Amino acid sequence: MSPTDVTPYDALLLVSFGGPDQPEDVVPFLENVTRGRGIPRERLEEVGEHYFLFGGRSPINEINRTLLAEIRADLAAHGIDLPVYWGNRNWDPYLTDVVAEMKADGVTRAACFMTSAYSSYSSCRQYRENLADAAAAVEGAPVLERLRAYWNHPGFVDPVVDAVVDAVREREDPRIVFVTHSIPDSMNDGSGPLGGAYLTQHRTVSAYVVHRVAEVTGRSHDHDLVFCSRSGPPHVPWLEPDVNDHLEKLAAEGVRSVVLVPIGFVSDHMEVVYDLDTEALATAERLGLDAVRVPTSGTDPRFVAMVRDLLVERAAVERGEPVERTAVAGEPACWDVCAAGCCPNPRGPRPALGGLE
């Protein structure tokens, strides 16, 4: 097989959130996540109980180890000889350590794939800030360039469609309930170059999934977009409704079957296995709802192939070649470089890679 051209990149960096691997890691990990927000240790220990239900570890690291191996195998199978690294925002392997490793290995320019599909401060710009921090901490660090957001790439969406099709075929007239991570209203208002992108992207892709499911099954289904994992103070407005409150409402309206779709999540990390598999499914059982949670795209081969597609696409852009960008849901593919002021930091400006600032 002739090699696929990914110049000018000489490495790929998988960038993720991170999570604890053992009980003694839980509170230090949560301290990393919440640093600067003044959250008492007692509250962190309370949240940590969620992790202790699963042996004091998050599934995200093991999923990323699998994803890393699958990406390496996929690139090799398509003639791309490129080292692939993995670094986290909040736990080992830390981004700064991995960027130092990349520099020592002679990497000069790396494409960065983030395990977060949508536009908002917490799901995009914060990762860009973390990349800037890591690059600033390593003298002579390689150039780091973020691959575009992929909320409407078929490699992310098609596995969701198939999972929902399988779930609705096993139920009579189920309600499809899409779930994503809640964020403050103000953060949504500032998301994307024009504002409101986080909510718009989720609504658009949810409607597309429902449309595709109807095409495949010949049955239409009502659907909703709801939220989980709120963590802010009560007086600050966050996106609503909460998934548990919404299940209460549906049950009161006479709905008897629900398909929960974690559309906002790439993989089954803590917000999925606790907030949905533990809390939401317990709520559904108490209400007498027949409920199922469908899988995330995770390490589906189409998702893995999407990483390669985004890499090859961006490399061609950087070489000045014409590019056909893959996207669904009737919306164009996301931008490569963020506009100035896109998804602003609510605490004030900070350096971030991958933008026009």
Residue range of the domain that includes 202: 154-293
Same domain, 277 and 305: no
Q: How many domains would you assign to the chain?
A: 2
Same domain, 144 and 18: yes
Same domain, 118 and 85: yes
**238-270 b/e (C-beta count within 10 Å ≥ 16 → b):** bbeebbbebbbebbeeebbbbbbbbbbbbbbbb
Residue 112 in this model has a pLDDT that exceeds 80: yes
The burial class, CB within 10 Å (0-12 / 13-18 / 19+), for 1 is: exposed
Identity of residue 42: E
pLDDT tens for 53-102 read: 899 999 999 999 999 999 999 999 999 999 999 999 999 999 999 999 99
Same domain, 23 and 54: yes
Same domain, 180 and 259: yes
Same domain, 164 and 118: no
The burial class, CB within 10 Å (0-12 / 13-18 / 19+), for 11 is: buried
pLDDT tens for 154-181 read: 999 999 999 999 999 999 999 999 999 9
Same domain, 167 and 248: yes
User: What was the pLDDT predicted at 2?
Assistant: 54
Round to whole Å and give the CA distance between 175 and 223.
6
Any domain includes 338: no
Any domain includes 342: no
Sign of CA dihedral 287, 292, 294, 295: positive
pLDDT tens for 272-292 read: 999 999 999 999 999 999 999
Same domain, 195 and 307: no
Same domain, 175 and 69: no
Boundary residue ending a domain (276, 293, 310): 293
Any domain includes 64: yes
Any domain includes 355: no
Same domain, 30 and 138: yes
User: Span 241-245, mean pLDDT?
Assistant: 98
Residue 149 in this model has a pLDDT that exceeds 60: yes
Identity of residue 223: H
Q: What is the CATH number of the domain that holds 120?
A: 3.40.50.1400
Percent of the chain at pLDDT above 90?
A: 88
- Our CA angle for 118, 152, 144, nearest 5°, is 55
